[in-house]
Amino acid sequence: MHIVLWIVLFLMLIVGSINTVNSRKMSVSVIIPAFNEDKTVGSVIKTVKKLSYIDEIIVVDDGSYDNTAIVAKNSGATVIQHTKNRGKGAAIKTGFKNSRGDIIVFLDADIENLTPKQVDEIIKPLINGEADITKTKFKREAGRVTELTAKPLLNFFFPEIKFDQPLSGQFAAKRSFLSKIKLEDDYGVDVGIVLDADVRGLRIKEVDIGKIDHVLSPLTELNMVATEVVRTIVQRATEYGRVAMIDSLGRSIRMEILGLSMVFLGVFSTFFIRPVPVELGLFISIAGAVAATYYLIKIIRMSYNMLRKPEGRIQTLRSFFYMHSPILVSAIILLAMISTLLGAVQIQEGKVSIEPTSRNLIIWGPNQENKSFDLRGPYTVDSALENETDLIRMPKEAMDSLGLVYGDIIYINNTNYSLNQTVPGEDTVIRIPADVRSYLGLNIRDVIRDSDVRNIFKNFYAEKNVPVQNYTNLTLKEGVIIKTGSDMGRIVNIYIDDQKVASTSGIFKNGTYDVYVNGVKYTSIYYDDQNPKGNHFIYVGDKLIKIEIADEIKSDMIFATVNEGWFLNLIFNGTS
């Protein structure tokens, strides 16, 4: 009991210490770099002071020759002065070195309408643990450097960065992060911090703070800003391997895609384009394979060198994907083609045969078997299982193409064979007895396209089950001849005592058709295409059977005449 109490107390101490650490107030320092901003810096300071949790406000006067330092000091900020103008980044570095907050906030000194709410929105995501760095976006009249310089370069070298305004002077970051990176001395400091944070995989949140008004800079100053931003982006791109990814790696990737494309062209020329000599197709494929292999090795080596750096591996991979995803797609296509070809290889007595056979895509119109599309075949011929000389095992897709179902019977060379489902794991295998294979001219391992299934079994007589509704003691079968293509046929409806129990369709020829009951010939009906529609009545005991030949419909089955088999066989009470 005492041991349990000691364990509980120990766990409570641990949880308490964790909560103490998590609840410890994070101190916040605000740094405001300023150069000749005496008209606006006081307003910025007073706005920040309205937030009670701000621990210190530091204004770095970067060699101003107006009253910036005096206004800042009178407004309640700690002022650090540079004897000469050294640049925005240098002022930020000075402020950072002399600050003590866990969270460092950077604000421009020339904002004319800053509000406490806007500053709070910059800081709160860090305090709440939602981000490691926040940057702002806002409505403004000008953004020429961002739109014309920064965004195009970032899209080129760092495509994974999707911020609306990557150049924002208002941002906040954790001290632990800022102490590990290089802060630029000039206007490149803002974008440099964003790039360093992105490459390190930090959580960056872009906060919309609404509308703020900056003092518009003249073109000469914007030119200097653009130059320093470009230099920073290019330097970071070089440092993090993005230039190589675009240049040498990019060239190798393009050549790799060219090699893979040659392989594709050669394969298609060899197997699918008859006018192209086989030798030419093979040459193109081999040349493409050699080029693709050579440049793949170069890509792997260069990629390995880029990823050896401990920082930025994940972001480099993300950037690689954005820039060079086509090679990944091309490689997948090539692998799919190779696997298809390997599956079509047959080796027999020193002979290698490659016969690629594709699946058959079938697309239905609305309300056709409640399907929209289906993929069928190809099928591989194999021998029948032991003691199954009167059985053909066939995939359901092939049965659908034949228009038959499991349990139907097909007659081949005056012998009937029952159609059954495939063995588990043999979804594309048709198992056919030896006598049938010989009669059909098929060999083991022959590959049959789905579109050829009906051609192989055409003109054979089949006894086909017809679905019965609303009558439990009836099995209905029809005799049909398998046809290739479709022609106009007739709907046939079966009624028992004026209740419709089944419906089928097929093609009639002028002639006599036998109707069987319980496997015994019961009557015959005559079909005349001059008077096709009509009703035929028979009595079976006390049951009135009506066979209605109704409207025209497309069909790919021919009803069997008296010379070919029986037309209908009605089996009652399970008696054959």
Bigger pLDDT: 201 or 284? 284
Bigger pLDDT: 213 or 145? 213
Positive or negative: CA dihedral 62, 67, 68, 71 = positive
pLDDT(14) > 80: no
Mean pLDDT for 7-17 is: 53
Does the N-terminal peptide bond of residue 275 adopt cis geometry, omega within 30 degrees of 0? no
pLDDT digits (tens, 9 = 90+) for 230-259: 777 777 766 766 665 566 666 777 788 788
CATH tag for 26-239 (out of 2.70.98.60, 3.40.1180.10, 3.90.550.10, 3.30.565.10): 3.90.550.10
- CATH 3.90.550.10 residue ranges in the chain? 26-239
**Predicted TM-score of the model (pTM):** 0.50
Distance of alpha carbon 120 from alpha carbon 168, whole angstroms: 16
Question: What is 360-456's CATH number?
Answer: 2.40.40
Helix/strand/coil for 136 = strand
- CATH 2.40.40 residue ranges in the chain? 360-456
Alpha carbon 334 to chain centroid distance? 18
Q: Which of 123-132, 270-279, 489-498 reaches the highest mean pLDDT?
A: 489-498
pLDDT digits (tens, 9 = 90+) for 478-489: 999 999 888 999
pLDDT digits (tens, 9 = 90+) for 152-211: 777 666 767 777 776 677 888 888 888 888 887 777 777 778 877 777 778 888 888 887
